[in-house]
Amino acid sequence: MGQLLIFGLGYTAGRIAIAMQAKGWQVRATGSAGDIAFAESAAVLAALGEATHILSSAPPERAGGDPVLDAYGEDLAGKALFYLSSTGVYGDRAGAWVDETTPTIAQSGEGRRNARAEADLAWLNMGARVFRLPGIYGPGRSALDRVREGKARRIDLPGQVFSRVHVDDIMSGVVAALTQSAPAGAYNLGDDLPCSGNEVTEHACRLLGVPPPPLESLEQANLSDMARGFYMENRRVANGKARRVLGWSPRYPTYVEGLAALL
């Protein structure tokens, strides 16, 4: 069995940790839920020395640079590396399909400087298995929760679509890669039905028996810069490589199955 060190034990990485422990792996982690403080370099270096596999879910710095690579990059040699990235690295594709051969913003120089795209490329250059993730949902973080909390929105953007993935499908994909010595490179983990956020919200409302929120324009919605940027990007994410190489298939192939399970 391997020894896994996780940088940033959050919502998604926490589920990966539980799954790997169930397989008999030893798992240590930094982060508020972990057992090691990231800034305690002696403890981190000791854990790195014992680890066979490294998984980072630590976000990049806003100004650029990856905190794990900046602090401990020289100490990762000889380790099997895994990184949780974002499909946001592809930028806006006007609704077109993207796969792992599609150039990222960092590769093509398109659009604004993107710290996530630069971190994604840095981990790839280190020989990591990089998992590009779309909108993540799961227990406590889904359209059902937003509807119940009165926070659901419907934005009037005809033709705008994006992909999503259940957190447990991320877990199964990363676990498959960890346990199969997957080849280095990028892997998209997303479901089979890219669609608008409005469609998901409306389905959640039907499940809960409540009327959907009113349609709003981007201006009326008064979104944060981060949320507004999300709605300005439009793409469909293909998951064929993960299926072929990892033998992965999503347990929740669309939001319909995912929300039904959460309900």
Average pLDDT over residues 34-54: 97
What is the tens place of the pLDDT at every residue in 195-224?
Answer: 999 999 999 999 999 999 999 998 888 888
The crossing angle, in degrees rounded to 10, of helices 11-22 and 167-180 is: 50
DSSP SS3 for 61: coil
Q: Where are the alpha helices (DSSP H) in 105-248?
A: 105-108, 115-125, 143-148, 167-180, 197-208, 218-221, 225-231, 240-246
Average pLDDT over residues 237-249: 98
Domains annotated for the chain, with CATH where assigned, are 3-262 (3.40.50.720)
Can you give the pTM of this predicted structure? Answer: 0.95
Residue 214 has a pLDDT of 95
How crowded is residue 241: how many other Cβ atoms within 10 Å of its Cβ? 17
- With a pLDDT cut of 90, the percent of the chain lying above it is 86
pLDDT at 23 over 60: yes
Residue 109 has a pLDDT of 64
Q: How confident is the model at residue 47 (pLDDT cuts 50, 70, 90)?
A: very high
Give the whole-angstrom CA distance, residue 61 versus residue 79. 23
Closest by CA to 30, choosing from 49, 53, 51, 56, is 56
Give the whole-angstrom CA distance, residue 187 versus residue 211. 37
Give the whole-angstrom CA distance, residue 32 versus residue 199. 35
What is the tens place of the pLDDT at every residue in 55-72?
Answer: 999 999 988 899 999 999
